[in-house]
Amino acid sequence: MSQKSSGNLKISILTPSYNQGRYIEQNIQSVLDQEYSNFEHIVVDGGSTDNTVEVLKKYSHLKWVSERDEGQADALCKGLKMATGDIIGWINSDDYLVNNIFHKVVEVFENINCNWLIGNMITYDERIDHEYRPNYFEINKKKLFRDPYIVRQPSGFYKKDVLIEAGGINPSFYMVADYDLWVRMTLIEEPANIDQYLSVFRMHGDQKTSMKNLMIQSKEISSICIRVGNYIGLISVVKKILSRFLRHYIKSLLVSLKFIDPIYRDMSMSSKEYVEKARE
């Protein structure tokens, strides 16, 4: 599969947005920079009060709406109804695509009889200006059921008709609409996997990473696991909660003992990394 794709398949990129004006222009530009003309970019904004709308107005190619919604999943449902493409991608407003990946995505759909695909994902932590490029591993139903936290949402692409057949995006989920979708997609067909970075997931201080949201996430994942009889996944949920509580305790202890600066309290470092920081 070394040749370029035909470009016959249209790609629709869905971007839910709310008060991410400082990031959304990079998101938009990453879609424009794909060197693939047969695409549309749909931004569904939840009525932002920052400069998001001003940024959206600068780009005439966008399909966009800015109005109050019921959250990210609801915005995605609106975007899916607006989409006219053969392939659907979902990239949140604070994330962005790797350059020139659309031809590869279309090439896979054209040359392999698949209904959805997953690529690798770069994680960029802007709080410490660090980019993490994880080793590649394939995701399948067995691995997804065993570990609900391996979802690489920005690097997933789907045939629109099969996405709709699977039930589309479930608007009832606040934290894990992506995991719910992937579980339902695997019940139809295993994904194709490609060893290529397709997107960049950005970590920053305004994300939904509080302890309260962890509990919401855990409850939602648990409901999905129970629905499909995935009791092994429930073990991963319990381990995640215990790990988070332990990390929070160690970080708070190190801060209180003045071994590390308070700025590190809420950052996503492992307990081991915090101990190493304390020894510096």
- How many Å from the N-terminal Cα to the C-terminal Cα in the chain? 49
Q: Report in angstroms the alpha-carbon separations of 122 from 96, 131, 141, 198, 207.
A: 10, 7, 22, 8, 17
Q: Where are the alpha helices (DSSP H) in 149-230?
A: 160-165, 177-188, 211-227
Which pLDDT score is estimated for 21?
A: 93
pLDDT at site 4: 60
Q: How far apart are CA 65 and CA 72, in angstroms?
A: 14
- pLDDT at residue 189, as a whole number: 93
pLDDT value of residue 97: 97
Q: CA–CA separation, 83 vs 9, rounded Å?
A: 13
Q: What is the pLDDT of residue 41?
A: 98
**pLDDT at residue 8, rounded to an integer:** 87
pLDDT given for residue 155 in this prediction? 97
Q: How far is it, in rounded angstroms, from Cα 79 to Cα 41? A: 10
Alpha carbons within 13 A on the beta-carbon side of 279: 6
pLDDT at 240: 76
* Residue 268, pLDDT score: 46
pLDDT score of 242? 74
CA distance 186 to 189: 5
Could you read off the pLDDT of 117-141 as tens digits, one per residue? 999 999 998 888 889 999 999 999 9
Length of the chain: 280
Q: Collect the ranges in the chain with pLDDT lower than 50.
A: 1-2, 263-280
